[in-house]
Amino acid sequence: QVQLVESGGGLVQAGGSLRLSCRASAIIFGIRTMGWYRQAPGKQRELVATITSSGSTIYADSVKGRFTISRDNAKNTVNLQMNSLKPEDTAVYYCNYGQVWGQGTLVTVSS
C-alpha cells in the first residue's frame, strides 16, 4: 500500500517561485517513471512533467524553461521547482506513480 504525500504549495505573486515535494511511503522511485500533474478549477487534469528512473525528463510546453522536475531515489522523493510563476499556473498539483496518486497541494499565483 504505497502512498504519496505532496507538500510545498501556497500563495505566491506572479513572477515568484515555489518548490513542491512528493515523498513515497516505500522505496519505489528508482523503479519507474514519476510525474507531476495539475488540475485548474473547471478544467481537466493535465501532465506537467515526468522523470524516468534514469533521470530523463519531459515537460509540457506551457512550463518548459520555467519548471524543473528532479528525483532523489535514496530519499524516495520527487520534486518540482517552479520559477517565473504565472496566474495560469494556479491549480492543485498532484504527484503520480503508476496507479498511485497523492492528495494534491494547492498552488495559487496572484497577478
Q: What is the pLDDT along the chain (111 residues), one digit of tens a residue?
A: 788 999 999 999 999 999 999 998 876 666 789 999 999 999 999 999 999 988 999 999 999 999 999 998 788 899 999 999 999 999 999 999 988 999 999 999 999
Read off φ and ψ for residue 35, nearest 5 degrees. Answer: -145, 160
Per the DSSP assignment, residues forming a β-bridge with 21 are: 7, 79
Local structure of residue 107 (DSSP, 8 states): E
